[in-house]
Structure formats: C-alpha cells, structure tokens
Amino acid sequence: MFGTLIHSFHNWFFGRQIPAGSKGRKNQWFREPVRFGAVLVLGLCSCADKEGYPDDLPYPQRVDLIVEEAPKLSPNNPSPPGGLEKSIANLGLVGGKILDPVKLPEATQTEITKLLAEQFGTPAQPRVGDGKTNLPELGKKLKLDSQTLAQGSVAYRRNCLHCHGLSGDGKGSSGLWVHPPPRDFRQGRFKFISTNPAKNLNRPRREDILRTIRMGLHGTSMPAFGILPTEELEALASYVIHLGIRGEVEFTIEKTLLKPQSQVLNLFENYLPDEEVSKDQETLAFFVPKFLQEIVRQYHTAESQVLVPPEYPFKDSELSDSIRRGFRLFSSQAPDALGCVSCHIDYGRQSPWQYDEWGSLNRPSNLTAGIYKGGRRPLDLFWRIKRGIPPSKMPAATLTGEDEGKKTWDLVNFIEALPFPATLPEEVRNAVYGSTGRIAKPN
Amino acid sequence: MNHDSHPAPGNFLTKYVFSGDHKIIGIQFLFSGLLFWILGGLLALGVRLQLGWPNQALNELLKWFPSLADSIPASWGSRISPEFYTMLFTMHATVMIFFVVVPWLGGAFGNYLIPLMIGAKDMAFPKLNMLSYWVLWPAFFFLLASFFVDGGAAGSGWTAYPTLSSATQNADIPDPGLDAAAKATTPTNPPSPTSMEPGLWERIKNRWNSPAAGQSGQGQVYWLLALIFSGTSSMMGSVNYITTILNCRAPGMTLMRMPLTVWGMFVTAILQSLALPVLTVALIMQFLDRTVGTVFFLPPAGLAFGNWQTGTGGGQPLLWQHLFWFYSHPAVYIMILPAMGMVSDVLVAFCRKPLFGYKPMVFSMIGIAGLGFIVWGHHMFQSGMDPRLGTGFMAATVLIAVPSAVKIFNWLATIWGSRIRFTSASLNALAFISMFIIGGLSGIYMASTPVDIYIHDTYFIVAHIHYVLFLSSMFGIYAGIHFWFPKMFGRTMNDSLGKVHFFLTFLLANGTFFPMHILGIRGHPRRYYDPTIFDWLASVQPLNQFVSICAILLGLVQVIFLANFLFSIFFGPKSGRNPWEANTLEWETPSPPGHGNFETTPIVLHGPYEYAVTTAINGRFSQTGLNRDQIQQGNHP
Amino acid sequence: MHRFWSLLFAAVNMACLALLVVAYAYPGLGWWLPDSASTQANEIDSLFYLITGLCAFFFVATQGILIYSLWRFPSTAPGSPSPIHGHPGLEIGWTIAPLVGLLVITAASLPVWKEARYQGFPPPALEGTNPLPPEADQVILVTARQWDWHLKYATESLPAEGIRQWASVGNPSDLIIANELHVWKGAKVSLLLRTTDVIHSFFVPALRLKQDTLPGKTIPMRFEATVSNVRFDPAEGRVVPNETKASWEIACAELCGGNHFRMRGKLFVHPDRKSYDAWLDHSRRQTRSRSLTAMLPNASSSNQKEGALQ
C-alpha cells in the first residue's frame, strides 16, 4: 500500500514511468489531503459569520456538584485560581453538604433533560414554558417571549458566554480563573436585589439585573456593559432570567430527589404546597410546568414589590451628626445598634472569608476602599442594608421603631463618608483611621 | 582546530543521532524546525479562523475533525474561547520565532554552511555543537507539554509582559476548606479522609496558577522553561560560530573574502552572545517571580484581581519590557541578517555578476548590529517610559534604517546589468528583496514616535513584522533550502514545483499580510478575539475575512513545498558537486560532503563573488581558483 | 516565460499600492484612518501623510528598478553580465539620500511628540503635593481593570493639596462611571491613567491617543478635542448625538487577558462647557439621589440611556 503510494507520487512528481498498481489505486494518494483542503476552504468560504448558537446544540445536563448547604466556618484564604471545583468537592469535609447529580438514576436524568428541553428549548431557540400553560401573559410582562429571548441568547453568546458559560453555570473559559467566580445562575438566586423583604420574596426585579449588567460589579471581574444598546440590555436581562429559571427547576428537582428516600411527592410538598395532587399526577412531567409557573409568578410579583426608601430626613448641616449616629449603629454592639463590625472587622479591612450559597468564598466588603459591588448610589447602599445579601451571609438590618428610616439613612451616610477621612467628624475619623490620619489604600 | 580529537563516527547512533558533525547537526536543526513550522502554521490558521469569522460556531468543523472537540467544547458554545485564542497567537509567535526561524537560520544554515564556506573541517567545538542541539530537546518537551497543563499553554503574548504573565499569590495556597479543617482538628481527632490532602506536585502546580488568566499559570511556567533552554541552545551555537569563524578559516580566507552568508552568521552570533544573557536573566527573574515568590515585576502596592489581592511587591513591571526588548529587538536582526547573507549568495550565483559593493554590504550588516543594541526602546514608546527617552530611541531607530536601505540599493545594483536565471532559489531571493522593501518602509512609521502613538499595537505592527519575518526571512529560507539542498542531500528539488510553490506563496502571502496594513491604519488593535463588537472596526471585517481565506490557502500551499522537500530527499535527480556553478568553497566538496568536509585543505585565492570574469575559462573564478572540471572531478592539486 | 516573473512582481506590488490608494480614495469604505477629533490627531495625521509620501517615493523607485531589471536582464537577454564590483560615489549617494529623508521625518516628529507627551513630564503633580497644573480645564482619573475602565470625574474644585490626594482618595461627590469619557470641545483635558491589575492601554482612535497603564504608576496624558459629537439634552435628561452622528470608541491596546477585546468604551465630546456641566450635574444628581421617584424612569442608570446613541 505504502509502496504504491510512493510509486504513484513519484510518477506524477518526476514524470518518470515506474511500474505501479492498477489505475484505480494509483489515484488514491491525494484523496485525503484533497478532502482536507476542500472541507477547510469550501466550508469556511461558504459560511457566513453566523451569530448565535448552532441549532443542534442543546443545553448541557448538570453534572457538577450541588452545594446543598455551605459550611459555616471561615477559612483563612479564598480558593486558589481555578480551584473552585476542587474546593467544592472538599466542602463535605468541613461541614458542608454536597450532592452529586450524576448519582440520580439514569432514567430520571433522561426525563429531567427531556422535560427541560420541552420547557426551555435550546440555546438557539430559548423559551420559557411549552406554550400550554397560561405563562404567555405573565411571561410577556416579564419580557420572556421567545423573540426577546432569542435576541438575548445572541447577545449573551457574544458578551457573557465566556465567563458565565452556556447554561449559566459560571464555568466559562474565562470564568474558571476569576475571583470571585462568575455567578452561577442555575440556582435562580441573585445577590443584589431591591424587593421588599417583608414579602419574603428572594427574587430580583428586572431592574436589579439590569443595574448589574449596566454598571458591572465593581470589586469583582464583572465588567460594565452600560454602553450596549438599551434593547440589547433588556434582552440580556430576559435571557439571564430564562437561564435562572431553567437552572432552578433542574437544581430543585435534583436537590430534592438526591436526598435519601425522597420522591416526586416531596417536590410538591416542598415547593407547591397549595397544589392538590392525585396519585397519578405525582410525576415530574406534571410538576415541572406547575413549578415553572410558580417561579414565573414570583418573578412577576417581585416587579411590583420594590422596597421604597423613606424620604431622606436630613438637611446638609445635620450630616455630621448623622454620620456620628451611623458610626455608632455600625460599630456598637449595644442592643439598639447593629454591630456591623462583627463581620466587617476593622471596617472591612480585615474581614474574614466566608462561604456563600454557591460554595464559593467571599468576604464582607472593605468599606474603607469605596468599592461597592452592588452599586455606589445612596439608594443601592440603602437596599443593601435593608435587604441584606441573602445568598451570602449579610443579613437584612433589623432596625425597628418609628425612626427606623432615619437610622437607615444615618448608616448610609456613615458608609458613604467612610472612604473619605476628610469628611468624617474628628472622633469618628480617629476611631476608624487612628489619630495618625492613616488613609485607605488607594485603588 | 580540535578536529583531530573528533574521529569519524562509527555506528548509526554516533553518526546520525549523537553526532558531532556540523552537517548532521545542521540537518537535525532543519528537521526539528520543519516539524515546529507545521505546528506554528496550524496555530496561525486557528488565529485567522477566529478573526475571519469571530462569531461562527465551529460545529460543522467539529464533525469533520472530532479531535478538536476538547479544545472547542460544546459547553463553551462550540467556539474558540478567548483564552484559547490568546494561547493560539502566543504559541504561534513563540514557536515561529524561537523554534523555527532562529533554529533554521542560526542552527540549520549556520551549522551546515559556516565550516563549509570558510574551508574548515568542522566546528571549533563539535561536542558543544552537539549539546546545542540536544539542549533544545528539553525546550521541545516543555513547549509541547505546556499544551496539556491546567489552563492551557501560555497566553500572555510572546512578549509575556508582567503583570499579566507574572501575577501570583506568592504563597502556598492550601485548599481553604481543608486548611480550616486541619486547624479545627486536634491530635485525637485527625482530619478524614487524609487522602484528600493534595500531594506535593499538586500543591506546586496550584501555586503556579495565576489570578490574571488561566494560561498565565502553569502554561507560562512551562513557556519560561522552554525559552530558557532554547536560549541556552542559541548561546552555545553562537559561541561556537564566533570561535570557528575567527580561528578555523582555510588559508587565504581573510575576513574580507568570506561570503556574506558567513558574515551574516558571524554578526548574528555576536549579537546573540551579547543580547541573549539579558533575556535569559529576564526569563529566570520571571520564573522566580512565578515559582518562589520573588517580586521583581510586582509593584509595591500589589495588585487586585476582582476581590483577590496579591501580596505586596517592590518591583517594577516596566523592567521586564526593557530586559525583554534588549534581547528581542536584536532578535529581529538575528532573524534577518543570516537571511540577508544567504540571499546575497543565492542572488549572485544566479545573476552571474559580482556582488555590488561587498564592503558596504559587510559594513551595513555591522552597522545594523551595532545600532540594533540601542533601539530597543522603540517598542516601548507607549509603555509609560519617560517620553524624553523616546526621543533618543527615535533618533537611533531612524539611523538604523540607513544601513538597511544601503543593502537594498546594493542588491538592486547587483541585479542591474546582470543575466538572471529564474530558478526557485533565485525567485525566492528576489522576493526577499522586494518584500523587505515593504517591510522596511512600514517600519519607518513606527520609528516616528507620534505616528507610533496611533500605530502601536495595531495590525500595522502585525503586518510589518510578518513582512520582515515571513515575507523576508521565510523567503530567504526557501531560497536557502532550494539553493543548498543539493549540497545537503546530493539531490536537487523539483524546480517546477518550486516555482509553483513560489508563485502561490508570493501571491497569497501578500494577500494575507498586505491588507493588515489597512486594518492597522484603521486602528484595529492586535490580539483581539472579536473585533466586531466595535462599531469603528465593522468596516474592515470583510478585509479580515479576505486575509483569513488567503492565510488558509497559504497554509495549504505549503504542502507543495513540504512534499517537494521530502520526496526530493529520496527521489530527486542526483546533483553533482556544483549544480549552480557557484564560487564559494562548499561547492568544491562532494554532495553531500563526507566527514571532515574537504578532501584536501582548500587554499583561497579569490573573493567569493568573482563572476563575469572575461579572462577566466568558465567566466568566473571559484574561491580556490579551480575550474569547473577540476571541481567536478574532485581533482585538487 | 522569463518576462512572467517580472510581471508577477509588478502585479503584486501594484496590487498592494492599489489597495492603499483605494482605501485612501474611498473614505466610504471605512478602510482608512478614522475621524480625527483632537489637535494631536491632526498633527499625527499630517505626519502620517508625510511619511507615506516619502515611503511611496522610495517604494516606487526601488520596486521600479527591481521590476525593470527583471524585465530587462534575464539570462536569455543578449550580451553578458557586467563585471562591476561597486561604485563609491553611488554608495555615498544612496547612504545620504535616505538619511536626508529620515532626518526630515525626525525633524517633523519631534515637535509633535513634545506636544503630545512632554507636557506634564516629569509628572510634578503626582510626586509631591503640588497643586493641579493650572492649564488643565478638566482632570479625569481613568482606572483600568480586567476588563473595563472606571472613570472618575471631579464635580467640585479639587482640594488644595493637589491631585495626588484626589486620585487616591477623592471626594464623596466625585462621579464614577464605567467606560464613558465625557469632555468638551476645546477643553484641555488631563487624564491620569492607572490600573489595578495588569498592563492595559488606553486607546482612543479618534483622538489618536494611546498610553499604557502601568501597575503601580499613575501616568498623566493630555489632549484637546476639536470636534464635538454629542450634546446634553436637558429635556430628555440624556446625551444625544449631534449632526455629525459620530460614534467614537475607546479600546484597550495592550493584551490584558482573554477578554482584552472586551474593554470597549465611548468618547462623548460636548460642544461646550455648558453642555458638559449640565450632563455632569444631571449625572451627579442621579447618582446621588436618595429617592426612588426622582430616579425614574432611568432608575438604575447613572449614565442615562446611552443606548439612544447607537
């Protein structure tokens, strides 16, 4: 075979006649390289630069570990770059609980994948709901129609995919190496939200997601995308919600079914307590659309549940006093104060690392640096204080009484002034920066 | 010199593998360069694939080449990822510069030609010569292994600017959970299971990981090691070349009778021996920064990546750029001067006319090399260096264009009034001159500091470097391979195929690299993964696609050369001692020359370029004064 | 056949030249220099054309000689090659000719470089407590990071102790926005470039401005815009494009990791200080607002509906 190849090439190459095999075999030598060339050249020249995902690409099934419960302890350092997955695998050793979705029976895994594909489509044709339920109405209000989602999918692929990954798992090529890791949308949980805590809704408003996309998260690797066209931003927010819902359905089912002796009925009991289910309805096929509907309803409710801040009560001349009161609320452990310093140790300069819901490590913000992940506007600070950051350990402020609003604004004023020693009243400045006038490290 | 202590090799292993014979070593360099040339070319095609169609999903391609699925996984959207893309262009440049052009010009041609052209039996230090090749193998290992480590091969550009390339935590980072668990345990309550504790190698590797980018981690460490070894190899070679050229010349071979190829190698060797230590030091400093926690390139306040802080430093990122360019600007001449010499020799042999202005050619080479040491700062006009330094570097850079222009004019005057035979070798040499004019002229834009403000780090630079390194050096190498192939293998390459290859390469290479000037004038920054997110670059995207199509075709065309080369080694028509009727000494030996090169020590009577001599029998004087028939018969007096 | 190679060299070189000519002659293609909108841009462009002219001359001359020689002197031509070895006069001539051309370029470059870079160097304001350089109308701190630009605008007069203090600490009233550079036409703008992580390069093609940011250093940079592309519309509360319809972008020009290409920003040149001040005031009120209703309808955006500019 090899001899024939050399002979035929030699004949052609040097134009000399050397006896070779049959004519049919003589021409075989160029088949492979020619095919290689033809595929490469014709394939590339003919294809337009197509935006968006290929049509036959499905959402990948979840195979990475589920963090059911994050450990309570505070390690000394964050996980090394690229080490998140290993770190999560070790969580069980330090008091966390992890579940492995691959351990589900294969039939269940297949069923989940099939149901998710039915309800959420593919990256190229994303949708929320299979069109049979009454989602269209709520979905339209939340801009979850398939047209917006398709637009969002294209924009997401261009702008977000490299960090947040195809299914929103936060494990894109760039995302593996940044710290904190990019948000894994698949638990449907978002950190910086502005809904009223009284309603017990841990859902973001669209506006919260939009703010994060527009302004980025200063202090993380999330860039600001504010100069994208408005409708692209809106489409991106819709697509992020879509990924969040899809992931949450998957996450919830897997988390529940992975527990020992659990069954589909537990899903209904835990997540759809009002639903009357008959025995033959205890199937995932029945649960998924119902649960999806419930999540969409919650997102929809959140839209109208913004936590409205009370009117700002102070004149400019009262600012110093307000900062003093805010300082006391922040640093005192008295029962009527908040004692924020117990986590934001040394005003955040020595904050300890803590696990958040996703099993990654974060620490209470260094408030002397003037870097606020959730936004630097007074309103943003107000929401962070009053709403907390539920998925990490930051609790909502428990201020009570009729001057609750005033107290919150005191705290906002103090936090706003904290990075600027010159604007702090003298005793506050001495307490925070010492009498030597040490200033925050420039950044 | 000490050739007598270097006996003729006995068995296969000492003859072809661990050989001290400069000819075998040259051919070893040639072949390993060839393999890396293919690798580097494929990496370049990956870059062009992404830039031509930045949003294209490659699922169709994956159906044909499923082995790519690991590099372009579906979970990242079946497309080249930005990290993979940075790896592609970084490794393309690294491979092409340090593992193809430098080993080919210095290692292959330098080794093969220097002793033959100066009439020496072998290199001055045959063992050192052997070592210079085998030290390259650890470099091959680290380079190839780096593609398979966590995070992938190096991706911080071939220039590897800190702090992108050097940022680390500078401390051993244990797994946070395990660390806390270990603290919580008491001697009576050991942590369980202990097997989860990472091993030593795992911990070392983790320590190399970078918060700046995945490829700046372990891949970067391997990259540094590869370059340290490849630099050591070049260093050994250059010491050897200098000694050989100064001490081992045949009787009568004065410095001013040396062929320009040897002059090119000589000047290059001096450049390398003076500049390479600086790069090696810089590489070792970055290696220490990455592995043991020194802070040569980390600024005092440290760095913040997201909410990750590195430790405090005390160094200066700009230092790297000075050290790096102190070598890497001379490296540009290291990659062009030997080619200039080779092209001169090839050209003259086919023009049948003396080289015009031998002495000015030699002095311009020396001038380029001398000035080459004081122009490194022109890579750093926008780096934050004091602008007053920029003014000085501009003046030096402008001056270095003069000797280059002198060379061009002398080549043109050589061609003028000649009688050129168009062969594959001479066409490639002519293309070198034509393309070097373009590469040289586009360099003037960068020398002018204010224009460089705009042109710096755009595609204009990419166009310029490829006109100098691909369209000049590579055409010089093609010319050299076609020209000296008969001497190396005793057979000639197919000239028709060579011409077809030249024709297509000349067209497609210009189609690939000339439009890059337009991209650069538009302001297209280099190393961009997806230029289409910018409105102002939308208009040049069709050019990008055109460039990519040309580049892919260009890559395919090289198969012609490769096939011609490989098949001619075994099946090409046999050549005599001197198929081109050239004058220099190597043509007086058998093809290929035996151990010890010359049957009798040649005595040099003439300069290398005595063509068009009306009084001589063949119209020329060979350097020894022998005529054609005497040479063909090996009939030395 | 031998003429073929001469023609090939001619064709390839002429095609290269033709591409440049086409790109220059048809601005509609968008294959030439982008808009130029600063004093420095105009000077750099003039210099670019000067160099292009000289290079074109040398290009045509040298390639012309080469192509003519290939045409005229193939081995098949009658006669024999001339045995000439060199000519000192010619050597001196063609050493001096390029030298003169290059010195012209150097002489033309020096004042432009000085204008673009020497001002503010060595940076007096950063090393001590020197006050703001008096000639600057506007000081903007640009902090680069992986992968966006944070720009800090001073909304009140800078503290007496100088801009070093302002750059590292600043005032509570400073406006910090991402990826948007707002200046006004004719303002002498002083940029302070910083980075928190790796080397980036602040590249504004329309201003012909490019400067690396170095970790651990603050690098001053000056420019003066000469054309405006937007104005602030108080009624709509946002910046709207003016008749030029020009959209100018900011890019990163030094490799800073995988998402190097992602660092896209925009340049907004207001027609006058009034429009700029109105924008600054509006943006500050938006970002300082403490009530939800005052923020609506753009409740979350400090930087208005930039999308309208697309």
Residue of B nearest to A88 (CA): B177
Here the tokens at position B200 are: 């030593």
- Reply yes or no on whether the pLDDT at B5 is more than 70: no
* pLDDT at position C309: 31
Kind and range of the H or E element at B432?
A: helix B424-447
Nearest to C300 among A207, A416, A422 (CB): A207
Q: Helix, strand or coil for residue B83?
A: helix
C190 pairs with which residues across the strands? C139, C222
Question: Are B507 and C199 within 8 A, CB to CB?
Answer: no
CB contact under 8 A, C257 and A211: no
Looking at the fold, whether C70 and C197 belong to one and the same domain comes out as: no
ipTM: 0.91
Q: What is the pLDDT of residue C308?
A: 31
Asked if C248 and B536 come within 8 Å (Cβ–Cβ), the reply is yes
Write out pLDDT tens, residues C250-271. 999 999 988 999 999 999 999 9
Q: DSSP 3-state assignment of A53? A: coil
pLDDT above 90: percentage of residues in chain B:
68
C291 touches chain A (CB under 8 A): yes
Residues of A in contact with B533 (CB under 8 A): 158-159
> CA of C13: which chain B residue's CA is closest?
B434
Q: Which pLDDT belongs to residue C114?
A: 86
The position carrying tokens 């350097």 is B623
Whether the CB of C263 is below 8 Å from some CB of chain A: the reply is: yes
Question: How many Cα atoms are found within 13 Å in the side-chain-facing hemisphere of C150?
Answer: 24
The CATH number given to whatever domain includes residue A395 is: 1.10.760
- Are residues C165 and C225 located together in one domain of the fold? yes
Please report which confidence band the pLDDT of residue C298 belongs to, taking 50, 70 and 90 as the band edges: very low
Q: pLDDT-based confidence at A17, cuts 50/70/90?
A: very low
**Contact status of B553 with chain A (Cβ, < 8 Å):** yes
The pLDDT of B16-35, averaged and rounded, is 91
Summary mean pLDDT of chain C: 84
C152: in domain = yes
Higher pLDDT pick, A30 / B538: B538
Residue A373 lies in a domain: yes
- Cα of first residue to Cα of last residue in chain C, in angstroms, is 56
In a domain? residue A144: yes
Measured between alpha carbons, how far is C192 from C146 in angstroms, rounded to an integer?
A: 18
Choose between B102 and C124: higher pLDDT. B102
C171-226 pLDDT tens trace: 888 889 999 999 999 998 888 899 999 999 999 999 999 999 999 888 888 899 99
Give contacts of C54 with chain B, Cβ < 8 Å.
Answer: 444
Chain A CB within 8 Å of residue C147 CB: yes
Subunit partners of chain A (3 or more CB pairs within 8 A): B, C
Tally the domains of chain A: 3
Residues of C in contact with A224 (CB under 8 A): 148, 178-179
Same domain, A115 and A263: yes
Query: What tokens were used for A80?
Result: 């090394």
Check whether residue A9 and residue A107 sit in a common domain: no
Q: Is residue A52 situated within a structural domain?
A: no
**What is the structure's pLDDT at B633?**
67
CATH code, residues B336-573: 1.20.210.10
Determine whether the interchain pair A180/B559 forms a contact, defined as Cβ–Cβ distance below 8 Å. Answer: no
CB contact under 8 Å between C310 and A229, yes or no, is yes
Summarised one tens digit per residue, pLDDT across range A78-117 is 877 888 888 888 888 888 888 999 989 999 999 999 999 9
Q: Do A227 and C262 touch (CB under 8 A)?
A: no
Domain of C17, CATH number, reads 1.10.287
Residues in C 34-63 with any Cβ partner in A closer than 8 A: none
The count of structural domains within chain C is 2
Report whether pLDDT(B1) > 60.
no
Is A213 or C80 the better-scoring residue by pLDDT?
A213
When CB atoms are compared, the residue of A71, A123, A171 closest to B177 is A71
Q: Are residues C153 and C230 in the same domain?
A: yes
Q: What is the pLDDT of residues B26-72, one digit of tens each?
A: 999 999 999 999 999 999 999 999 999 888 888 877 878 777 777 88
Minimum distance, in Å, between the CA of residue B307 and any CA atom of chain A:
6
Strand partners, C189: C138, C223
Inter-chain CB proximity C44 and B451 less than 8 Å: yes
Are A197 and A296 in the same domain?
A: yes
Q: Which of A252, A273, A303 is the last residue of a domain?
A: A303
- Say yes or no: C143 and C285 in one domain: yes
- In a 13 Å sphere around the CA of B236, the CA atoms on its Cβ side amount to 19
* A267 and A323 both lie in a single domain: no
* Shared domain check, C248 and C188: yes
Residues C103 and C153 placed together within one structural domain of the fold? no
Mean pLDDT over the full length of chain A = 83
SS (H, E, C) B280-324: HHHHHHHHHHHHCCCCCCCCCCCCEECCEECCCCCCCHHHHHHHH
CB-CB: which of A210, A218, A442 is closest to C169? A442
| Closest residue, chain B, to C69 (C-alpha) | B416
* Same domain membership, residue C266 and residue C236: yes
By DSSP bridging, strand C138-145 and strand C188-195 are parallel
Q: Tell which B residues from 45 to 104 touch C, by Cβ distance under 8 Å.
A: 81-83, 85-86
How does strand B610-611 pair with strand C265-270? Answer: unpaired
- Report, as an integer, the average pLDDT of A1-17: 44
Neighbours of chain C (3+ CB pairs under 8 A): A, B
Q: Do A14 and B494 touch (CB under 8 A)?
A: yes
Decide if pLDDT at B544 tops 60.
Answer: yes
**3-state DSSP helix/strand/coil % of chain A, to nearest 5:** 50, 5, 45
Does residue A88 fall inside a structural domain?
no
Does C190 lie in the same domain as C62? no
Buried-exposed string C279-306: b where 16+ CB fall within 10 A, e elsewhere: bbebbbebbbbbeeeebeeebbbbbbbb
pLDDT at A442 over 70: no
Q: Check whether A28 has a pLDDT greater than 60.
A: no
pLDDT at residue B268 greater than cutoff 90: yes
At residue C166, the pLDDT reads 81
Predicted local confidence at residue B366, as pLDDT: 95
A334-360 b/e (C-beta count within 10 Å ≥ 16 → b): eeebbebbebbeebbeebebbbbbbbb
Claim to verify: residue A150 and residue A285 sit in the same structural domain: yes
Minimal Cβ distance to B55: which of A14, A50, A172: A50
Per DSSP, A257 falls in state: H
Name the more confident of C165 and B497.
B497
A310 part of contact set with chain C, CB < 8 Å? no
CB contact under 8 A, B453 and C116: yes
Distance of CA C11 to the CA centre of its chain: 34
Q: What is the pLDDT confidence band of residue B500, given thresholds at 50, 70 and 90?
A: very high
Check if C273 contacts B (Cβ < 8 Å): no
CB contact under 8 A, A207 and C299: yes
Based on the domain organization, do C108 and C171 belong to the same domain?
A: no
How many angstroms separate the CA atoms of B212 and B205, rounded?
16
pLDDT value at residue A350 = 86
Q: What is the pLDDT of residue B180?
A: 61
Task: Give the pLDDT confidence score for residue C47 in this predicted structure.
Answer: 95
Residues C104 and C214 in one domain: no
**Structural contact between residues B572 and B492, judged by C-beta atoms closer than 8 angstroms:** yes
Helix (H) / strand (E) containing C195: strand C188-195
Containing domain of residue C160, as a range? Answer: 131-309
CATH topology for B1-6+20-177+207-333? Answer: Cytochrome C Oxidase; Chain A (1.20.210)
Per-residue pLDDT at B568 exceeds 80? yes
The reply to whether A335 and A412 lie within a common domain is yes
When mean pLDDT is compared across A66-70, A433-437, B165-169, B559-563, the lowest value belongs to A433-437
Q: Look at residue B549 in the predicted model and tell me its pLDDT.
A: 92
Residue B556, pLDDT score: 93
Tens of pLDDT, residues B293-334: 888 999 888 888 888 888 888 889 999 999 999 999 999 999
Residue A18 domain boundaries: 2-46
Q: Are residues A139 and A24 in the same domain?
A: no
Q: What is the pLDDT of residue A349?
A: 87
- What are the Cα distances from residue A372, in Å, to A212, A368, B179, B375, C76? 12, 10, 29, 45, 79
In a domain, A53, yes or no: no
- C-chain residues within 8 Å CB-CB of A420? 169-172
Task: Please report, for the domain that includes residue C204, its CATH number.
Answer: 2.60.40.420
Search chain A and give the residue with CA nearest B192: A93
Q: Are strands C180-184 and C209-213 parallel, antiparallel or unpaired?
A: unpaired
Domain regions of chain B by residue span: 1-6+20-177+207-333, 336-573
- Least CB–CB distance from C261: residue in B383, B417, B531: B531
Strand order in the sheet with C180-184: C180-184, C265-270, C248-252, C200-204, C209-213
- Among the ranges given (A47-61, A197-211, A274-288, C60-74), the one the predictor scored with the smallest mean pLDDT: A47-61
- Contact criterion met (CB below 8 Å) for B262 and B365: no
Examine the domain organization and report whether C272 and C211 are in the same domain: yes
Specify whether the CB–CB gap between B278 and B137 falls below 8 A.
no
Residue C23 and residue B536: Cβ atoms within 8 Å? no
Q: Check whether A13 has a pLDDT greater than 60.
A: no
Is there a domain that residue A370 lies in? yes
User: Are residues A178 and A288 located together in one domain of the fold?
Assistant: yes
Task: Flag if A216 and C290 touch (Cβ within 8 Å).
Answer: no
In this structure, the answer to whether residues C289 and C173 fall within a common structural domain is yes
Residue A41 has pLDDT above 50, yes or no: yes
The pLDDT confidence band at residue B636, using thresholds 50, 70 and 90, is low
